[in-house]
Structure 1
């Protein structure tokens, strides 16, 4: 029986009241502060000032805890919109925002199917908004948007982590690598790449994400028209 279906133990008169919600909130606080490495049933129990064995009545494994954490994050992903394009755009933006708020989420997106109540509620909203789309196209369309978002946010979070580790933001990296690229491009063997690097607009992370998303949604629109 999945954790979503398994009832919680009955309340008992003990010094520290527990629930799955309290356990998950504590785990998310640990992950927000120090990443997924900071999350274990033992560490969560310590944060709640209870013995680790108390948690096993509510959550059997760390994998179940991670599933519950991801579903709690899905409660913050509230797609909206009256048509397919706005619904998918909203899904992408809300997922990205949640991953920026909880960097650990980027490491867990795209794993096992998310079947918790919040994830299913969001899925229902999206599929309902795509009601006029051919039924065989709905899941591939949603999967394409999710794949784009997962790739984009993982790159963004990786850049954040690298910046924290090195103290080098994008402008500093550009300043440090600029002379190397100039020397490399001077031999004329990379003319197309040199033109893009020198002449194309350099978009920030928000602009890059939204431009790429618009390209994807335009492609979906073309498919629907056909």
Structure 2
């Protein structure tokens, strides 16, 4: 058995019970192996988490070179969201220091290469950071809502109905006219549509920046 099987076992444990359910001992038990075998090349839980993240980046990295920078950034964001929906614990590890495993580096290389072909390296990096910040925040919010639904047993619409009397009373005071309009007239969209719309807006902003003449 090699490190890949160990990491795959850790990913399975996290899929079942979150990051709190992952430890070197539990991974060893899942593989019917002694924990000292893992300590031979994984010294800390954080190191194991880093390997797990890169394992999932194998699902995120593009399989073919993206056609242009927008496809590169947008595709990376969408694939990251889909991966987080399959592996909810990933949301807890997004947004920190850059992932440096081979699959993560391959994802970053493909995206940066697509951007570098149309702009300077600093602008390319800021574009990646901007889209990454949006997608990380949106993904974390979506996963938090899914966890809240499971914890309370209330779907989004169940929660809205349960909160309705309180919200109606607060809006009736007239102190929140903009929120009142949003509640009564705003469109109710699913998480996927919300993510895609926000991502398009961010990419449009990046496109506007790329179109600006050099200073």
TM-score (norm. length: structure 2)? 0.94
Pair 1:85-2:70 in alignment: yes
Note the alpha carbon deviations across 1:11-43, whole angstroms, 9 max, x for none.
Answer: xxxxxxx21101101101100011111100011
Separation in 1, partners of 2:118, 2:19 = 40
Separation in 1, partners of 2:48, 2:69 = 33
Note the alpha carbon deviations across 1:61-94, whole angstroms, 9 max, x for none.
Answer: 1111111000011000034521111111101100
**Paired residue for 1:179, among 143, 148, 165?**
165
Pair 1:152-2:135 in alignment: no
Separation in 2, partners of 1:43, 1:219 = 46
Separation in 2, partners of 1:57, 1:183 = 61
Q: Is the 8 A contact 2:88 2:143 kept in 1?
A: yes
Q: What SS does structure 1 have at the residue aligned with 2:51? A: helix
Larger radius of gyration: 1
Moved over 6 A (4+): none
Pair 1:61-2:47 in alignment: no
- Alignment correspondent of 1:50: 33
Q: What SS does structure 2 have at the residue aligned with 1:85? A: helix
Give ranges in structure 1 of 5+ residues lacking alignment.
1-17
Q: What SS does structure 2 have at the residue aligned with 1:75? A: helix
Separation in 1, partners of 2:156, 2:119 = 40
Q: Report how far residue 58 of structure 1 moved.
A: 2.1
The structure that is helix-richer by fraction is 2
* 76-85 vs 196-205, greater mean Cα deviation: 76-85
- Alignment correspondent of 1:121: 106
Q: What SS does structure 2 have at the residue aligned with 1:58? A: coil
- Count matched residues: 209
Separation in 2, partners of 1:164, 1:64 = 29
TM-score (norm. length: structure 1)? 0.89
Q: Is the 8 A contact 1:71 1:114 kept in 2?
A: yes
Give ranges in structure 2 of 5+ residues lacking alignment.
none
Structure showing greater relative contact order (alpha-carbon pairs closer than 8 Å, 6 or more residues apart): 2
1:2-151 map, 5 Å: 18-79=1-62, 81-130=66-115, 131-151=117-137
Q: What SS does structure 2 have at the residue aligned with 1:202? A: coil
Q: Is the 8 A contact 1:19 1:58 kept in 2?
A: no
